[in-house]
Structure 1
Amino acid sequence: MSALAVFLIAVGIADICRKLSTHRWPGLVAGPLAVIACAASAGLWHRGDIALLVVAAAVSVAWVVLGGASERTGTRHGRALTVFGVGAALMVAFGGWASEVAGPLGRWLPWVGLDEVEPGRALMILAIVLLQLVTANQLVRLILGAVGAVRPAGVPQPSDRLKGGRLLGPMERLLIVGLGLGGQFGAASAVIAAKGIIRFPELNAARKESADSGDSAGSGIDEVTEYFLVGSFASWLIALAGLALTAA
C-alpha cells in the first residue's frame, strides 16, 4: 500500500497548496514534489516504485486541474472524481510492484520511540490525515455536484443555510480517524450521531423558513436535507475508508 499512501499524500499536499495560494502553479508542482519527497524519505527507488510514482505524480496534477475547473464552472464533476478513482485504483491494482517502506522514515520511527509502528503504516496514517483536510472536502463537493445537490454559481445554494460545513467537515473526519486509530469506535460513532443532533435545529429552521416564505427560487428544505445527508454520508465514508486503509 506504499504507492497508494504516496498518491494520497501528493494529492493532499497539492490541494492544500492550491487552497492557500491565489496562483495555480503551487498546486500543480506540489504533488510531484511531494512524490519525490516521499520516495526519498521512504526508500522507494526501485523500478516498480518509480513506475507507480510517476503515475501518482501525473494523476495528482490532473486532479488539481480538473478539480479546479469543476469548482470554477460548477460542471463536469465526474471527470475529477474519475481521475481520483482511477489513480487510487491503479495504486492498489499494481501495488505489488512497490517495495516495502524503509529509508530514513524506517530509521526515524525507532529513534522517536515508535519502533512498534511499521513504516508503511506510518506513511499511510500520514496520507489519511492529509486526505481528511482539503481533499476530502473537494471529494464531497464533487459528489454533491454529481448528484445535483449543488446549484450553479451565482444562485442560492443549500449550503447557505448550513454554516461552517467546510470547517466542521475536516474536524469531524479527523476526530473519527483519531478515535478509530485509538480503538475508540464507540466514541467515533457518537461523533457521527452528534452531527445530526447539532444540525437538527438548523434543518428545522430552514423548514419553517421555507414554509413561511413559499419562495421556490431559493433552496427548499428538501434540497437542504439532501445536501446535508449526501454530504454527511460521503464525508463519513471517506473517514471510515481511511481508517480501513490504516488497518490494512
Structure 2
Amino acid sequence: MSWIALLLIGVGTVDFAHAILDPLRRIRWVPEAIGAVVVIAFGLLSALFGGDLAAVIVIAGITVLWGFLAHQPQGSADNPRPGLPLALLGGTIFLGILLAPVAGEVAGPVAAWADGAPWAWVEAARPEVVLLAFGGLLVQISTGNVVVQLVLDVAKVANPLDGVDGNNLKGGRLLGPLERLTIFGLGLTGSIAAAGLVVAAKGLIRWPELQSFRGENRGDGEGPSINDVTEYFLVGSFVSWMTSLVTLALVIT
C-alpha cells in the first residue's frame, strides 16, 4: 500500500498548497510542483527504489494532473468537467489496491522514524500504515473539500446561498475538515461508534439553521427554499463523511 500512501500524500499536499496559496496569489504550477516534489521526497525517504522508483515518478505525475484537473485557473468559471478529476483519483486508488501486492515495503528513514516514534500505535504499526495515516490526514484537511465540491458539480447541486447575505452554511469549509479529522482520528483509535456521534451531532447543530429556511419562517417568502438548502447540506455532508471513511478503510485494512 506504499504507492497509495504516496498518492494520498501528493494529492493532499497539492490541495493544501492551493488552499494556502490561492487566496494570496495563484501561480498555476506552484502547488502541483510542491505536490510532485513531496511525493518524490517521501518515495526516496521510504527507500522505494528500482521498479518502485518508476511508480513514484508516475504517482508524482498523477499528482500534478490532479491539481490541474481539480483546480481551475484564477478567474475562470466553474470546473467544466468535474467528473474527470474524480475518475482520475478513484481509478488510481483502485489500481493501487490491485497492485498493492507488488508495491515495495517502506524502509529507510521513514521506517526508522516509525520504529522510534514515541507513540505506541505508531511504533506498533507497519511503516506503510504510518505513511497511509499521514496521507489520510492531509486528505481530510483540504482534499475532502475539493472532492465535495466536485461531486456537487457533477450532481449539479449548486449552493443555494451563493450571493445571499448572511450565508449561514458557509462555515462548512471550516467545519468539514474538522469533522473529517475527528472521524478519521476516532476511527484510527477504533472508536467508530464515537465517530457516529460526531455525524449525529452535526445534524442536530445544523437543524435549527435548516429550519430557518422554511417559507413560513422567512417572513418574505423569498430566497432559497428549505428543500434546496437541505439537498445541498445532505449531499455535501455525505460526501465529506464518505471521504473520511474511505480513507480510514484504506489505512486500517
> What TM-score results when the alignment is normalised by the length of structure 2?
0.88
Distance in 2 of aligned mates of 1:239 and 1:146: 20
**What residue number does 1:81 align with?**
86
2:43 aligned with 1:39: yes
**Corresponding position of 1:67:** 70
- Between 1:187-196 and 1:80-89, the stretch displaced more is 80-89
2:32 is aligned, of 24, 28, 31, to 28
Aligned to 2:210: 203
Which letter maps to 1:5? A
Where does structure 2 lack aligned partners over 5 or more consecutive residues? none
Alignment of 1:231 with 2:236, yes or no, is: yes
Counterpart secondary structure, 1:73 = coil
Judge which range, 128-137 or 50-59, deviates more.
Answer: 50-59
By how many angstroms is 1:155 displaced?
5.5
Q: Distance in 2 between matches of 1:29 and 1:163?
A: 30
1:84-117 per-position Cα deviation (integer Å, ceiling 9, x unaligned): 2222223222233310111111112222344312
Amino acid at match of 1:58: G
| C-alpha RMSD of matched pairs (Å) | 2.3
Q: Secondary structure at the match of 1:173?
A: helix
Q: CA deviation at 1:212?
A: 3.5
Partner of 2:196: 189
> 1:22-75: per-residue Cα shift (whole Å, max 9, x none)?
22222120121011111111111121x123222211111111111112884223
Q: 5 Å matches for 1:143-154?
A: 143-150=151-158
1:41-190 → structure 2 map (5 Å cutoff): 41-47=45-51, 49-69=52-72, 72-74=76-78, 75-113=80-118, 114-150=122-158, 156=163, 160-190=167-197
Residues 52, 91 of structure 1: 8 Å contact kept: no
Moved segments of 4+, more than 6 Å = none
Separation of aligned partners in 1, 2:133 and 2:149: 23
Deviation at 1:223, TM superposition (A): 1.3
Cα displacement (A) at 1:211: 5.7
What displacement does 1:210 show? 7.4
8 Å Cα contact 2:14-2:35 kept in structure 1: yes
Q: One-letter code of the match for 1:133?
A: I
Question: Does residue 17 of structure 2 align to residue 17 of structure 1?
Answer: yes
Whole-angstrom distance in 2 between the partners of 1:61 and 1:172: 27
CA deviation vs aligned residue, 1:218-247 (integer Å, no higher than 9, x gap): 432211111111111111111111111111
2:130 match: secondary structure: helix
Deviations 1:184-217 (A, max 9, x none): 22211100100000000100012247764333xx
User: Could you say if the C-alpha distance between residues 13 and 81 of structure 1 is closer, same or farther in structure 2, counting changes exceeding 3 Å?
Assistant: same
Match of 1:3 in 2: 3
Q: In the aligned structure 2, how far is the partner of 1:167 from the partner of 1:232? A: 13
Please state which structure has a larger fraction of its residues in helix: 1
Partners in 2 of 1:151 and 1:167 — Cα distance? 16
1:10·1:34 contact (CA, 8 Å) conserved in 2?
A: yes
Between the aligned partners of 2:130 and 2:214, the Cα distance in structure 1 is 45
Q: TM-score, normalised by structure 1?
A: 0.90
Gaps of 5+ in 1: none
Q: How far, CA to CA, are the matches of 2:205 and 2:98 in structure 1?
A: 40
Question: Out of 221, 226, 237, which is 1:221 matched to?
Answer: 226
